[in-house]
A = this chain, B = another copy of it.
Amino acid sequence: MATADAEAERMGTERTASGGAALRTRVTDAITEAAFAELAETGYARMSMEAVARRAGVGKAALYRRWSSKQGMLVDLIRQAVQDALPQAPDTGALHTDLRASLANVRGQLANPMVASVIRSLLAEVRQDGALADMLLTVVAQPRRAAAHALVQAAIDRGELPASVDRELAADLVIAPLGFRMLIMNGDSDDAYIETLATAIEAGLKAAAR
């Protein structure tokens, strides 16, 4: 929808319609910034489109011209936020350090309070909205699972893991304990926890592969 086209953005607009008017990047930026700020202050449920518009110095219609609903806007914003921080598959040369790097990467992204807030909020909507669920899976979860898969593959190639290892399990173990702890338990996860977790995951993967 409002995923800015890079070419257009250089021209200060986002869409090019022959003879028509284009959404203005400055306005989109102001809205985006205001939305993230409101989100950080009040959370998804309490956030109002009117407050975002007011904060951005923008009419409500400018929001609805870009997104068809409050939820649509948040979905798009979180998509941008997580895409801007795409996880790179770490390649440190050893499974253990790869795991540690991956866990640190997940932690780093979830430590952003706005990302955490929006993800938590969207979880509540997933059941009601298949499109939202798909987006979350595709844009948020898949790249992270892919990174986990790559990490496992590299370990197999190095001979650290047998080829029979369960790749899905690997993805779950890299994301879930940390995610659960940070998003749900509101718990902290220091370097020691990550180190312990990396050790456990490594052993778990090897054991489950047999």
Contacts and interface: CB of A to CB of B under 8 A. Distances in A.
Interface string A170-191: 0011011101110111100000
Interface in A74-114: 113
A206 B208 CA distance: 13
A113 B183 CA distance: 20
Interface residues of A, number: 46
Given A43-B128, A203-B207, A175 B186 contact: no
Interface in A30-86: 42-46
Contact of A137 (B46, B185, B203): B185
Interface string A184-210: 111000000100110111111111100
Contact of A200 (B113, B169, B179): B169
Choose among A43, A44, A202, A203 the residue with the greatest number of B CB atoms under 10 Å from its CB.
Answer: A203
Number of copies of chain A assembled together: 4
Nearest to A189: B172
A123 interface: yes
B196 A166 contact: yes
Contact of A196 (B117, B169, B184): B169
A126 B133 contact: no
A22 interface: no
A203 B199 contact: no
Contact of A128 (B46, B127, B133, B206): B46
Contact of A124 (B120, B166, B180): B120
Given A127-B186, A199-B208, A203-B207, 19 more contacts: A43-B128, A44-B124, A45-B45, A46-B128, A116-B127, A120-B124, A120-B127, A123-B124, A123-B184, A126-B184, A126-B186, A141-B185, A166-B196, A169-B177, A169-B196, A197-B208, A199-B204, A200-B204, A200-B208
